[in-house]
Chains A and B, each alone.
Chain A
Amino acid sequence: MEKFKILTYPDERLKKISQPVQQFDREFKDFVDRLLYTMRNSPAGVGIAAPQVNRHIQTIIVDASQYKHKHNKLNHGLMVLSNPRIIAHDGEIIIREGCLSVPDFTGNVKRHYWIKVEAEDINGNTITFDTEGFEAVVIQHEMDHLIGKLFLDRIASPKDLFRRKVYKK
């Protein structure tokens, strides 16, 4: 399988609004397979959103199980979520986020600590679950891509944006 090319800012296509998924057919599942392959073969690989590979549909993949993080206490493993909606939330959490589409920066972003999510699974069945901490942050980060937002839109304060480490050649 071949990885999708990931769009990087300032590519305008990252700012486009994605459309709901209606057909959970073979073609869609093939796309999800390749999106998953792209995520698995990227640094960290905890999440990816369809618009990051220039497909403007409301599908995200998250897998918080693969990453050790102090806020990663509860996670649901691999999830493919389409048309995700946050139907309840509580609390706040700040994590230093990076993004495959913004490779030169990291930043502290404030998100909901606990969220209740409704979404369609890979077969189009509606599911509801709640989660917290790290997994909740990854879901919110990926959901932002569906409305054309990047973590840069949500930096907590002027002191919370950082140039990524550059290794000396």
Chain B
Amino acid sequence: MKHFIITAVGEDRPGIVAGITKVLYEMGFNIEDSAMTRLNNEFAVMLIVSTEEEISEDTLKEKFSNVEKEKNLLINIRKIPEEIYREKEERGEVYNIIVYGGDKPGIVYKVAKLLADRNINISDLRTEKTPDIYVLIAQVEFPENLNLEDLQQEIEKLKDELNIDISIEKVESVEM
């Protein structure tokens, strides 16, 4: 099985998803994983697709040239080496981190750096802002040997430094 990652961005309008997935459908590709969302007035598509066919990045790119022009998109395609592709999985303990406060430079950077310095992996992150409030919501994976007390102390420091609120909650699901 060959896997590719396809990204496409362009001004939001109806038919972007249909245009892109039509090409994939007609070539018999599978969509293995995807995130498609609107950011402001831009629509962004990220897809992991798979096929049994031998096909190069360039040939695949060529197949998208019509929809790229028609919908005024910027499409990027990259082959994922087989040794890197793996089934979607969560690694380590999963936590939600919610950060909010008045908008100021460096909220995302400083929170992300705090996480990166402790080898905490971000699996999902989004931000929202209004004129008054900046909100960051992330799902992260804690490594096994993480010192929670140490992390909590660093978070308290960052809260004071930026005058923001940060809460961390373990994601627990209940089998019903």
Contact = CB atoms under 8 A, between A and B. Distances in A.
A141 B173 CA distance: 13
A43 interface: yes
Interface stretch (B53-61, B88-96, B103-111, B128-136): B88-96
Nearest to B93: A165
Interface in A123-148: 134, 137-138, 141-142
Contacts of B173: 96-98, 106, 162, 164
Interface string A89-116: 0000001111110000010000000000
Nearest to B137: A159
B94 A97 contact: no
A138 B176 contact: yes
A63 to B, nearest CB: 11
Nearest to B37: A158
A95 B174 contact: yes
Nearest to B88: A163
B171 interface: yes
Given A96-B171, A165-B94, A47 B176 contact: yes
A166 B87 contact: yes
Contacts of B94: 165
Contact of A96 (B90, B124, B126, B172): B172
Contacts of B83: none
A54 to B, nearest CB: 18
Nearest to B87: A166
Contacts, number: 54
Contacts of B62: none
A99 B176 contact: yes
A43 B95 CA distance: 21
Nearest to A105: B173
Nearest to B89: A166
Nearest to B175: A44
Interface in A16-58: 42-47
B21 to A, nearest CB: 16
B90 A163 contact: yes
B20 to A, nearest CB: 17
Contacts of B90: 163-166
A134 B94 CA distance: 21
Given A166-B89, A168-B89, A96 B174 contact: yes
A154 interface: no
Contacts of B88: 163, 166
Contacts of A69: 172, 174
Contacts of A99: 175-176
Interface of A: 42-47, 67, 69, 95-100, 106, 134, 137-138, 141-142, 151, 159, 162-166, 168
12 contacts: A42-B175, A43-B175, A46-B174, A69-B172, A95-B174, A96-B172, A97-B173, A97-B174, A100-B175, A134-B174, A159-B124, A168-B89
